Amino acid sequence: MTDCLDSWAVLRWLEGEEPAASRVEAALSARPVMSWINLGEVSYIVERKAGQTQAHLVIRDLRRRLILDLPTEARVLEAAAIKARYPIAYADAFAVATAIGRDAVLLTGDPEILDGDPAWPTADLRS
């Protein structure tokens, strides 16, 4: 089964926070999927913390290591439906919708996602 990453997973990888960082590094060797929405979230967070140049470098590296999912109309509406039913951020809803749509396991440690629907295909990177 394919892995899917959300921004939580990538940010912990960038910070070297274990055990998430090692699991994400292993996933990156197999080109996991990630929504463009979540990559955009990584970009703005890195830019706020480390500047625009660093954000561009991180995104350039990730674009080579990920399969990026450009949301279709159906994916946008699926994310909206998830957001309507669960108290999660809209970007998190895209991560969930992408994992479901790509038949992938969402690697995350985000409590909003992990506390959502138990049927969501997730793996907790916090332990």
Walk along the chain (127 residues) and give the pLDDT tens digit of each residue: 799 999 999 999 999 999 999 999 999 999 999 999 999 999 999 999 999 999 999 999 999 999 999 999 999 999 999 999 999 999 999 999 999 999 999 999 999 999 999 999 999 999 8
Does residue 59 sit within a domain?
A: yes
* CATH value at residue 42: 3.40.50.1010
Does residue 57 sit within a domain?
A: yes
Does residue 64 sit within a domain?
A: yes
Does residue 127 sit within a domain?
A: no
Structurally, how many domains does the chain consist of? Answer: 1
CA gap 65, 116 in Å, rounded: 28
What percent of the chain has pLDDT above 90? 98
Residues of the domain holding 99: 2-122
- The total number of residues written for the chain in this structure: 127
Picking from 31, 30, 59, the residue whose alpha carbon sits closest to that of residue 43 is: 59
Does residue 93 sit within a domain?
A: yes
pTM for the structure as a whole: 0.95
Can you give the pLDDT at residue 1?
A: 79
